[in-house]
Amino acid sequence: MEITVEKQEGVTIVRLPGEQLDASNAKDFKRDIASILAPASKVVFDLSQLRFVDSSGLGAMLSCLRQVNSAGGELKLCGLSKPVRALFELVRMHRIFDICDTKDDAVRVLQT
Amino acid sequence: MAENNSTVVKPLCEDITTLDALTESPQPPVPLLRRAQDPCVFVIFGASGDLTGRKLIPGLYNLACQELLPSRFSVVGYAITPLDGHGFRQQMRERVRRSPDVLAFRDRLWEDFAPALHYVSGDFENPEDYRRLATFLAEIDAQHGSGGNRLFYLATPPSCYGSIVHNLAEHRLVHRSGDSGGWTRVIVEKPFGRDLESARRLNALIHQAFEEDQIYRIDHYLGKETVQNILAFRFANSIIEPIWNRNYIDHVQITAAETLGVEHRARYYEEAGCLRDMFQNHLMQLLALIAMEPPVRYDRQSVRDRKADVFRAIFPIRMEQLDQLAVRGQYGAGQVDGVAAPAYRAEPDVALDSGTETFAALKMTMDNWRWAGVPFYLRSGKRLARKLTMVSIEFKRVPHLFFAHTAHDQIEPNVLTIRLQPDEGISLKLGAKAPGPEMHIRQMQMDFSYADAFGEFPATAYETLLLDALQGDPTLFNRNDAVELSWRILQPVLETWQASRAAAPFPNYSAGGWGPAAADELLIRDGRVWRNTAALPRFYLTDVNK
């Protein structure tokens, strides 16, 4: 899984590749993201390419949130497509995660 | 595809308004939970105790985060510790913030949840304190429209149950089914009695104020995903049930092994021992789920009837058979994971000549059509070599093997292993042709990992069961008949071991081992061996235990 990482004003922005995060690639995602999250305290997951998430994908993102939170950092999500947003709302994960409309919004919130 | 999605997703949630958005999904997404509807006040007796901060409030917080609690919901903590609502909320905030079980701690979510938490300081025996509690609950009803619905949680030592139940009834805080003024339910923590007689007394005592369908005897094991998955595995797969019987299964092993010693529970454990602590509740429940007949439907009556049938079918253990069917052990000093571990008798608060068992193994058989002649071996112990809870179903060997290069006794039988912890999942061992020009059979393993398939969500056993209780569904709670039946099965063992505590040959296994030699002999007599790992062993009956 080729995760794209960029830095913007002290914030680590992670773009998830591919249209789905599910049982087929959630394990790879967790493995690859671990080293990126370790030194980062302010993180944005850009989900704009994502069209489908299942419970293993949600579980992987939840693990990331817990990892960042336990290290005293913050994680925001942005760019959720309509079906992914609907899924988050169905399982009430939109309350657990901080979700911003755009990447710039997320960076701005993290800098305040 | 759209029609397919809607038929799968629709029954899972009542109030989905965004289904259209999901029709792009290639498969059904994730399980959905149903929000508890009835307004309610959740009253915790023993609110200053460890369980409240460790499991109950984090569980309720998780439910609140997912909007699964009723919209009008309050928690009232009740305990002798002097504290006010503000102090209780502050304490609970810290416990939730540090809890490994919460989905994620967020200030905003806590601020939404915290106003529902209240505290009343009171004694479990003082009628005047219950009067204050009743007044407080009435005020909450008036403020929040709880409608008199009450869910009581007895998170106290069992010795307090009597006075709590008596005072709740005296102060008209219990409404029987059909009464006006709201429903009342009570969750009772284990241990539920310490033998058959005390369990009967406890049932009779609680029945003085509550009807059976108001009583929720909690065993958090039954809320674990992997334990519930036993029923899904057996009855949601058409290929499993036809082979789940004496025609195909040789025997069943249930192991709950801990590497930890008695830790801070020595005072309780000295009185209880392994049989009471692990068998009467957890292991017997696993046995019931493995052995039960298919229920007519997944509901309180059907599931619990079928589980009780299992207990009724177990052959009573007669005292004269005890040496052949039961083994007890107590650990001596040793090494666990390379670290020196003291003997049980050297632990704080343990008697120097303690006769308490820290290990037990039992062989059980059933008098019914499905399981006639199939032994069930159960064992549990402290300070064993590995932390491991699993069920192994060992199938019968093939009747004839015609491969020239593989001896019959070198082929392992098929083994289905249900791992409850760690690395939750299910694996099946199969024979396969090893690569090469000749026909050699080797064992391989098909494996399902919960974490890989469903992600690593935090433990949710308590919140699952709390939500069930709020919704009035006791399917995953123990019924009085099952509790008494399971005690009745163990009673001869308890009595015999109790009577001979002073003569028990303890210690009889080293910390870091797999229990006393007699436990191995229990199976070796039958031509079998314990499975000490969920991984693929090398050769059957030769070096499997090395």
**Three-state secondary structure string covering B465-495:** HHHHHHCCCCCCCECHHHHHHHHHHHHHHHH
Chain A touched by B181 (CB under 8 Å): no
Say whether B65 and A62 touch across the interface (CB within 8 A).
no
Say whether A58 and B456 touch across the interface (CB within 8 A).
no
Placement of tokens 């009542």 in the chain: B14
Residue B45, strand partner residues: B78, B154
CA distance B424 to chain A (A): 14
Q: DSSP secondary-structure letter at B114?
A: G
Please count the CA atoms within 13 angstroms of the CA of B87 that sit on its side-chain side: 11
Arithmetic mean of pLDDT, B336-342: 93
Contacts of B456 in chain A (CB under 8 A): 59-60, 62-63
Residue B32: its pLDDT value, please?
63
Minimum Cα–Cα distance from B102: chain A residue: A66
CA distance A94 to chain B (A): 9
Q: Is the pLDDT of residue B422 over 60?
A: yes
Structure tokens at B214: 């108001």
Q: DSSP secondary-structure letter at B311?
A: H
Instruction: Suggest the residue from B1, B9, B16, B24 to mutate for an interface test with chain A (most A CBs closer than 10 A).
Output: B24
Say whether B455 and A57 touch across the interface (CB within 8 A).
yes
CB atoms within 10 A of CB B526: 13
Q: Is the pLDDT of residue B474 over 60?
A: yes
Question: Distance between CA atoms of B161 and B109, rounded to whole angstroms?
Answer: 34
Indicate if the alpha-carbon torsion angle B219, B220, B224, B226 is positive or negative: negative
Residue B510, strand partner residues: B332
Assess contact for A48 and A79: CB atoms under 8 A.
Answer: yes
Placement of tokens 């058989």 in the chain: B365
Where in B396-464 does DSSP place strands (E)?
415-421, 425-433, 441-449
Residue B438: its pLDDT value, please?
81
Helix (H, G, I), strand (E, B) or coil at B158: helix
Chain B touched by A23 (CB under 8 Å): yes
Q: Which of B282, B400, B405, B440 is catalytic?
A: B282
Question: Distance between CA atoms of B95 and B73, rounded to whole angstroms?
Answer: 20
Q: Is the pLDDT of residue B385 over 90?
A: yes
Q: Which is higher by pLDDT, B32 or B157?
A: B157
CB pairs under 8 A between A and B: 90
Chain B touched by A85 (CB under 8 Å): yes
Question: Distance between CA atoms of B264 and B108, rounded to whole angstroms?
Answer: 35
Q: Is the pLDDT of residue B486 over 50?
A: yes
Nearest to B467 by CA among B145, B140, B223, B119: B223
Arithmetic mean of pLDDT, B172-176: 90
Active site residue B282: yes
Question: Distance between CA atoms of B73 and B64, rounded to whole angstroms?
Answer: 10
Average of per-residue pLDDT values in chain B = 88
Placement of tokens 């108001």 in the chain: B214
Alpha helices (H) along chain A: 26-37, 55-70, 82-90, 93-96, 103-111
Q: Which of A63, A65, A91 sits opposite B30 (nearest CB)?
A: A91
Instruction: Suggest the residue from A21, A29, A52, A54 to mutate for an interface test with chain B (most B CBs closer than 10 A).
Output: A54
**ipTM of the complex model:** 0.84
Q: What is the percentage of chain A residues whose pLDDT exceeds 70?
A: 99
Prior bond to B191 cis, omega within 30? yes
Q: What is the pLDDT of residues A4-52, one digit of tens each?
A: 899 888 899 999 888 899 888 888 898 899 888 877 789 999 999 999 9
Contacts of A25 in chain B (CB under 8 A): none
Question: Distance between CA atoms of A54 and B22, rounded to whole angstroms?
Answer: 11
Chain A touched by B66 (CB under 8 Å): yes
Residue B34: its pLDDT value, please?
79
Q: Is the pLDDT of residue B539 over 70?
A: no
Question: Distance between CA atoms of A85 and A94, rounded to whole angstroms?
Answer: 8
B350 dihedral zone (left: phi>0; alpha: psi -120 to 50; beta) = beta
To the nearest 10°, the Cα dihedral for B350, B356, B361, B367?
Answer: -140
Structure tokens at B463: 């919140």
